[in-house]
Structure 1
Amino acid sequence: MAKSRVQFICQNCGTVHTRWAGKCDSCGEWNTLIEEGTAGGIGAGPAGLRSARKGRPVTLTTLSGDIEDAPRIASGISELDRATGGGFVRGSALLVGGDPGIGKSTLLMQAAAALARLGHRIVYVSGEEAVAQVRLRAQRLGAASAPVELAAETNVEDILATISEGRRPDLVILDSIQTLWTDIADSAPGTVTQVRAAAQAIIRYAKSTGAAVVLVGHVTKEGQIAGPRVVEHMVDAVLYFEGEGGHHYRILRTVKNRFGPTDEIGVFEMSDRGLREVSNPSELFLGERHAAAPGAAVFAGMEGTRPVLVEIQALVASSPLGTPRRAVVGWDSARLSMVLAVLEAHCGVRFATHDVYLNVAGGYRITEPAADVAVAAALVSSLTGLALPADCVYFGEISLSGAVRPVAHALQRLKEAEKLGFAQAVLPRSTDELAGGSGASTFQPAMLADLVARIAGSRLRRVED
């Protein structure tokens, strides 16, 4: 009998090391190398090679041909369907990640109940909770009467044997991938080898049968899905469920989708009866806005094909410290430093002796650079103590030279602002798509200094009045 060889696998990136070390040479993380045997499974030695069977030819076909079923399964939950690109694609694997307690299981339970009521066969397999615990959640959500098939199991071979009986399931939900284990790997559940082997077996089943599979994944303290990154490459779509503990809304964000856009979001509101869809997120993010306060600017952003209006709040205060503080919530701190540098270098606005605090209201997180103009307006407004117009929105990218650069989808941003009662807009020049498309009063500065002069000039106009 061949002797089992021992190797050390990084639990963060999956790199295989021949001996233990405190730091992984590949990803640079400390204390992530775990000893795992290679008697079977991925990385198996000669014993695994001995049992390998001879390959068999597969049938080659053409790109054209009939599709067996409808290509997508719409859940009826519009925000979930928006994030997935129109519904679950048959034969696809989807990975959902998020912080503990954010609502992943709640969302999937509601989706499972909605699809089961439409006549689809839905199988929900829980590896973390007992059947009685899942039933308690279903009763709280009002989904106990839905014909969802439920099981509590962690062995992959047993799960595949169970769901293969009878009619092919339309959707299989596995909560979570870190709890599953397979017989072909000898390591403990949750390790890189087990997670990778279990995911590979589940995805192979989805591709061969046409059943859609949803995998729930834990996240690390950095917010990334735990386990080897290869799992994110294996699946067809990756969705992150985001939200702050102090806020009642949740955002389902698509970061990978082979069958749809990767920049869509779905917005939900958490309640005691589960997650409720939010069809107009702008009203949610602007619901508690204080229009007369200095340092607040409304940014007209885009999330995929959906325009979203959100308030950006800035506070500039004199600093008693030798090195002033720069604190950011919901935006990129490096981009804030760039905007501050441009304001000082090209607009003569000094922040060297001031603390700067920036917050995106409602806990929303902005990723697009079009928020530069809104951030700059909020900073200048807070520094001067002048409140910006309550019916004005801001968007545009700022270059290092101080120029205001155009951004995409300007007309859609303006139409969303007009729908919510905003009559003014500050946006970049050379926006050709605005021709005849918007009735809002616009100010289009070529340089950031023009916007600063306009904000500072409002003080003079008020004194003259």
Structure 2
Amino acid sequence: MARDGAVYACQSCGAVQTKWSGQCPACGVWNSLVEEVQSRPPGSLAPSKSAKAVRGLAFEGLESENPTPPRIATGVDEFDRVCGGGVVPGSAILLGGDPGVGKSTLLLQVCASAALRGVSCAYISGEEAVEQIRGRAGRMGLAQAPVKLAAETGLRQILDGLKRDRFDLVIIDSIQTMWSDAHEAGPGSVTQVRSCAQELVRLAKKQGVAIILVGHVTKDGQIAGPRVVEHLVDAVLAFEGERGYPFRILRGAKNRFGATDEIGVFEMGDAGLREVRNPSALFLNDGGERAAGAAVFAGIEGSRPVLVEFQALVAPSAYGTPRRAVVGWDSGRLAMVLAVLEARCGLGFGDRDVYLNVAGGLRITEPAADLAAAAALASSALEAALPQDCVVFGEISLSGEVRPVSRMESRLKEAAKLGFGRALTPAAGLPDVSPVSINSASRLTDAIRRIGDQAWS
């Protein structure tokens, strides 16, 4: 029998139940309900002893005589780009990523770089001792940065320290290790994560200090804990990286002060993370002729154009059911492109294995990559290589039409800057003057015929 005031909170979705059960009724996860004791039943609004001292709600207008404080430029340009031009004072940012991807390394570099520019910074870790952080900073060449360090998990001690010593930027690594003595639940539970995040966000708003929270992720790639934490903060950033690749992508998933589709590119090395100023050159292979099954896609990530190589392999299937494997692209999108190639272009894939890969570990999500994927698949199936200096982009409809995409001029300029001289593009929406030679196609059959016949201008 449950104790008075006890509820059962799901550690996966945060749903609260009054009785324990083996499976969460909200999300269906087994053995995720954990007993948590509350001071009073949920939803009750018991009046406090100091209710008479509470003042009424004061409203203010939109206009203000106080100037807007400038953003905090950390000096790590790729990080500032994703944040929208710098960190906004008084904001709360949640950074999530897989274990070992480099979250702590990135934030230590951001903190040290900002401190060297005169920003008052504090780095509070609940996972490492102070000496461990110092050792990592020494290996990265950041030992001289005037960053204040602390190793603490108690929320009360952290709040007291931040109220006593004023900082401009505070790193909390990580929110899952923080613990509040106002709740009996253990660190990392839904109640503790929600309560600690709420108190830290409230401190950021009241004192005007920018706080960056590190969040662990689940095996599905979602930030662990209740989703309410993502609603509380002003920005949610995801730090991504494929195992075996040194490249790391910082991607904005939510940003109240900037664009949500910006990316920052880093390369992991012995001395920490290095900013990549030109991601296109990083994701392309410079040497040799282009092999059959490869197509260079001119994409847009946030505000910057990025060139990346699509690699396809179409081979006879050794089993009754052919395989479909894709890395870096949506598998549903691949199935659609294969269906259009079969129905509209006469290319058969029913008895062939199909493998599609985006080189460099980058994940592509925009529909403009349809034509590049189709070109790579057709190139492999027909054993006809695309020209070495050709880029491809365009959206494919189910009718086989090649549709125009946004920012075509920026894609072509990026291709010309990297030495590409031709482009396979949609026929509509092209700029009046192009820096490269255009091979346009209004339908997918025209593009596939050009690849098979090697009819390039």
Taking structure 2 as the reference length, what is the TM-score of the superposition?
0.96
The 5 Å alignment of 1:173-322 reads 173-287=171-285, 290-322=288-320
* Distance across 1 between alignment mates of 2:121 and 2:114: 7
* Distance across 2 between alignment mates of 1:51 and 1:335: 60
Question: Counterpart of 1:440?
Answer: 436
2:432 partner letter: A
Taking structure 1 as the reference length, what is the TM-score of the superposition?
0.94
* Distance across 1 between alignment mates of 2:49 and 2:400: 66
- Runs in 1 of length 4+ with deviation above 6 angstroms? none
Q: Does 1:4 align with 2:11?
A: no
* Distance across 2 between alignment mates of 1:5 and 1:192: 16
* Distance across 1 between alignment mates of 2:50 and 2:384: 74
Question: Counterpart of 2:149?
Answer: 150
* Distance across 1 between alignment mates of 2:290 and 2:213: 46
Report how far residue 177 of structure 1 moved: 0.2
For structure 1, the 5+ residue unaligned runs are none
Contact 2:338 2:349 in 1 (8 A): yes
Aligned counterpart for 2:352 among listed residues 351, 354, 362: 354
* Distance across 1 between alignment mates of 2:107 and 2:67: 26
The percentage of counterpart residues that share the same residue type is 58
* Distance across 2 between alignment mates of 1:129 and 1:51: 40
Contact 1:95 1:238 in 2 (8 A): yes
Question: Counterpart of 2:108?
Answer: 109
Question: Counterpart of 2:450?
Answer: 454
Contact 2:91 2:234 in 1 (8 A): yes
Contact 1:21 1:33 in 2 (8 A): yes
* Distance across 2 between alignment mates of 1:265 and 1:66: 35
* Distance across 2 between alignment mates of 1:58 and 1:383: 69
Question: Counterpart of 2:366?
Answer: 368
Report how far residue 95 of structure 1 moved: 0.3
Question: Counterpart of 1:379?
Answer: 377
Report how far residue 23 of structure 1 moved: 2.2
Report how far residue 429 of structure 1 moved: 2.0
For structure 2, the 5+ residue unaligned runs are none
Q: Does 1:323 align with 2:330?
A: no
* Distance across 2 between alignment mates of 1:142 and 1:415: 37
Question: Counterpart of 1:392?
Answer: 390
Report how far residue 180 of structure 1 moved: 0.3
Provide closer, same or farther for how the CA distance between residues 290 and 200 of structure 1 changes in structure 2, counting only shifts above 3 A: farther
Contact 2:124 2:170 in 1 (8 A): yes
Instruction: Note the alpha carbon deviations across 1:246-265, whole angstroms, 9 max, x for none.
Output: 01111100010000000000
Q: CA RMSD in A?
A: 1.8
Instruction: Note the alpha carbon deviations across 1:278-327, whole angstroms, 9 max, x for none.
Output: 00000000145653311000000001110000000000000011110000
Question: Counterpart of 1:30?
Answer: 30
* Distance across 1 between alignment mates of 2:47 and 2:313: 64
The 5 Å alignment of 1:49-198 reads 53-54=51-52, 55-67=54-66, 70-166=69-165, 168-198=166-196
1:422 partner letter: F
Report how far residue 10 of structure 1 moved: 1.0
- Which stretch of structure 1 is more off in the superposition, 420-429 or 277-286? 420-429
Contact 1:15 1:26 in 2 (8 A): yes
Contact 1:94 1:214 in 2 (8 A): yes
Instruction: Note the alpha carbon deviations across 1:210-240, whole angstroms, 9 max, x for none.
Output: 0000000000111111111110111000000
2:38 partner letter: T
Aligned counterpart for 2:417 among listed residues 419, 422, 442: 419
Provide closer, same or farther for how the CA distance between residues 136 and 51 of structure 1 changes in structure 2, counting only shifts above 3 A: farther
* Distance across 2 between alignment mates of 1:183 and 1:340: 57
* Distance across 2 between alignment mates of 1:9 and 1:71: 41
* Distance across 2 between alignment mates of 1:204 and 1:291: 57
* Distance across 2 between alignment mates of 1:372 and 1:272: 37
Contact 1:4 1:39 in 2 (8 A): no
Contact 2:75 2:117 in 1 (8 A): no
SS at match of 1:60: coil
- Which stretch of structure 1 is more off in the superposition, 381-390 or 210-219? 381-390
SS at match of 2:170: strand
Report how far residue 43 of structure 1 moved: 3.4
Contact 1:404 1:428 in 2 (8 A): yes
* Distance across 2 between alignment mates of 1:268 and 1:429: 35
Report how far residue 44 of structure 1 moved: 7.8
* Distance across 2 between alignment mates of 1:381 and 1:52: 75
Report how far residue 58 of structure 1 moved: 4.4
Question: Counterpart of 2:18?
Answer: 18
* Distance across 1 between alignment mates of 2:42 and 2:238: 30
Provide closer, same or farther for how the CA distance between residues 367 and 435 of structure 1 changes in structure 2, counting only shifts above 3 A: same
Provide closer, same or farther for how the CA distance between residues 68 and 62 of structure 1 changes in structure 2, counting only shifts above 3 A: same
* Distance across 2 between alignment mates of 1:191 and 1:276: 35
Instruction: Note the alpha carbon deviations across 1:313-366, whole angstroms, 9 max, x for none.
Output: 000000011110000000000100000000000110000010000000011110
SS at match of 2:280: helix
